[in-house]
Amino acid sequence: MSREVTFELCAETLAACVAAREGGSDRIELCSALSEDGLTPSHALIRAAVGLGGAPVYVMLRPRAGDFVYSDGDLRLMREDLAHARSLGVSGFVLGILKPDGRVDVGRTRELVELAAGLEMTFHRAFDQTPSLEEALEDVIAAGCRRVLTSGGAPDVVAGAESLRRLVERARGRIAVAAGGGLRLANAVAVARITGASHFHGSLRRKVSRAAQKVVIHSAAREEFVVEADDVREMVRVLREA
């Protein structure tokens, strides 16, 4: 029996966005530099991704690599990027702001939620670095976020599946919990069944040789990756039937 699920493809290029649209992804998290776990994408890429139509686009607000404790200057950049991306027609944003002690910075997060003014805000996997996931969940809700992306505090969704299950139960009816971090076609059924989640997130990248490449979405240290629309389509099918 199929169930209602939401699958979000994490994309860092227009080619990946095309694969998301053709494969039936429900939404796109748009970022740059997946090698750094995602940074704010260029305004040109945002405009092009939104222009494709189909899956709604949610833009990463992360002005630099490294930790998630931001200076006033960092926050100014995030505000400006949010305002510009909003003007380009995005459907929401993805961020993660922590205090020096590792807890969620509720005040600064709420400020950006309010600046987004009605567009959905997701709190990303900075959540997994907090000292208490239960406390962090309540803080993210208090800040006004409508979704949290997490691997259950573990390195990936397989290791964190039981923790994710508890978070899904705790959050039910208050905020969407998206299982993300190491989600693969090979483990999607197990993750879906253990966690009971209805929101899922993954990049579905395949490493390929230059001779075999079709759509290159990342290249570093001689590694190249592609996203195939067929893989997106299969992930959506598997999650709905899990």
> Percent of the chain at pLDDT above 70?
93
Q: What percent of the chain lies above the pLDDT cut of 90?
A: 89
> 83-95, pLDDT tens digit by residue?
999 999 999 999 9
Alpha-carbon distances, residue 205 vs 123, 167, 184 (angstroms): 22, 27, 9
- State the pTM of this model: 0.92
Enumerate domains of the chain plus CATH numbers. Answer: 1-60+204-242 (no CATH), 61-150 (3.20.20.380)
How confident is the model over 147-176, as pLDDT tens digits?
999 999 999 999 999 999 999 999 999 999
Lowest mean pLDDT among 19-28, 63-72, 138-147, 223-232: 223-232
Compute the C-alpha angle 152/241/185, nearest 5°: 55
Is pLDDT at 217 greater than 70 in this prediction? Answer: no
Distance of alpha carbon 207 from alpha carbon 217, whole angstroms: 10
User: What is the mean predicted confidence (pLDDT) over 195-209?
Assistant: 92
Q: What pLDDT is recorded for position 208? A: 77
Q: Considering only residues 194 and 211, tell me which one the structure prediction assigns the higher pLDDT.
A: 194
Predicted confidence at residue 1, as pLDDT, reads 47
Residue 168, SS3 per DSSP: helix
In the structure, what pLDDT confidence band is assigned to residue 180 with cuts at 50, 70 and 90? very high
Tokens of residue 205, six digits: 């990248």
The amino acid at residue 69 is V
Length of the chain: 242
User: What CA–CA distance (Å, rounded) separates 112 from 15?
Assistant: 29
- Torsion angle of C-alpha atoms 122, 125, 130, 135, degrees rounded to 10: 40
Contact in structure between 210 and 224 (CB atoms under 8 Å): yes
pLDDT of amino acid 219:
46
The alpha carbon dihedral of 5, 96, 129, 173 has a sign of negative
7 backbone dihedrals φ, ψ, rounded to 5°? -110, 130
By C-alpha distance, which of 1, 126, 142 is closest to 70?
A: 126
**pLDDT score recorded for residue 78:** 98
Phi–psi pair at 63, nearest 5 degrees: -75, -10
151: Cβ contacts below 8 Å, ≥ 6 apart: 125, 128, 157, 159, 160, 164, 179, 180, 181, 182
| Diameter of the chain measured on Cα atoms | 50
